[in-house]
Chain A
Amino acid sequence: MPLDILYFAWVREHVGLSSERAELPADASTPLKVAQWLAARGGGYATAFAAPEKLRCALDQQVVAMTDPIGEAREIAFFPPVTGG
């Protein structure tokens, strides 16, 4: 199933896109594995995903750990720690 991948703040700026739809490889079962798969595309993706421990992830708009299972989620978002307020 294709998944919508969303990027925010400096992740979005490095990637050069705010969102894209992609078919994940079968072994991309966690946000961390998706981040590693995206980093391997090189260029701005490599910069954005060079240090996944600095990133946060949401699945279907709920914050999750980078090692949680993606399961049936339809939307995955990567972003830096939030700085609102």
Chain B
Amino acid sequence: MRRIAVQSEDFDPGAELDLLQGADAGAVASFTGIVRGDDGVEALTLEHYPGMTERALADLAEAAMTRWPLSAVTIIHRIGTLPKGARIVFVGTASAHRAAALEACAFLIDRLKTDAPFWKKEHGRAGDRWVETRATDAAAADRWR
């Protein structure tokens, strides 16, 4: 199973884990990203490049399934304005054993941050501000190359 979604509505992590588990997975791993309230941030607006985003996420899922023996991959990314505490992103993997599921899950979220065309704008006490990339994100993605 390969499930890719770019959507404004929320998702249900429990339901996504059930889908990943399917009939014969021995291990399911997942990552859920949440809007943090650092520095007085009240909300984020997520912008993306329709068309390219879906292709970039599908390419990442394909790369993970080529590299690890996975039975299922799910990537869900929300867009639009999301308040502090809201879920932004879900990455889930299923495999026969834990190492493949855990490693592939880390690969997917690390590479999503540098390869998928999303941009975050923060809204908060300090006004509106486009988020800048962090060197630690590039380093995290590079360790999978």
Contacts and interface: CB of A to CB of B under 8 A. Distances in A.
Interface of A: 6, 8-10, 58, 61-63, 77, 79-85
Given A61-B55, A85-B112, A9 B119 contact: yes
B49 A6 contact: yes
B101 interface: no
B118 A82 contact: yes
Interface string B96-136: 00000000000001001111111111000000001111000
Interface string B45-66: 0111101100100000000000
Nearest to B109: A85
Contacts of B77: 84-85
Given A9-B121, A10-B130, A80-B130, A85 B49 contact: no
Contacts, number: 67
Given A8-B47, A83-B118, A85-B89, 11 more contacts: A9-B47, A61-B52, A80-B130, A82-B114, A83-B132, A84-B77, A84-B112, A84-B116, A84-B119, A85-B33, A85-B109
A77 B52 contact: yes
* Most chain A Cβ neighbours within 10 Å, of B49, B88, B112, B132: B49
Contact of A84 (B48, B130, B132): B48
Interface in B58-89: 77, 88-89
Q: Which 7 A-B pairs have the closest CB atoms?
A: A84-B118, A61-B52, A9-B119, A85-B113, A81-B133, A83-B131, A83-B120
Interface residues of B, number: 27
A77 B49 contact: yes
B55 A85 contact: no
Interface in B23-58: 33, 46-49, 51-52, 55
Contacts of A80: 119, 130, 132-133
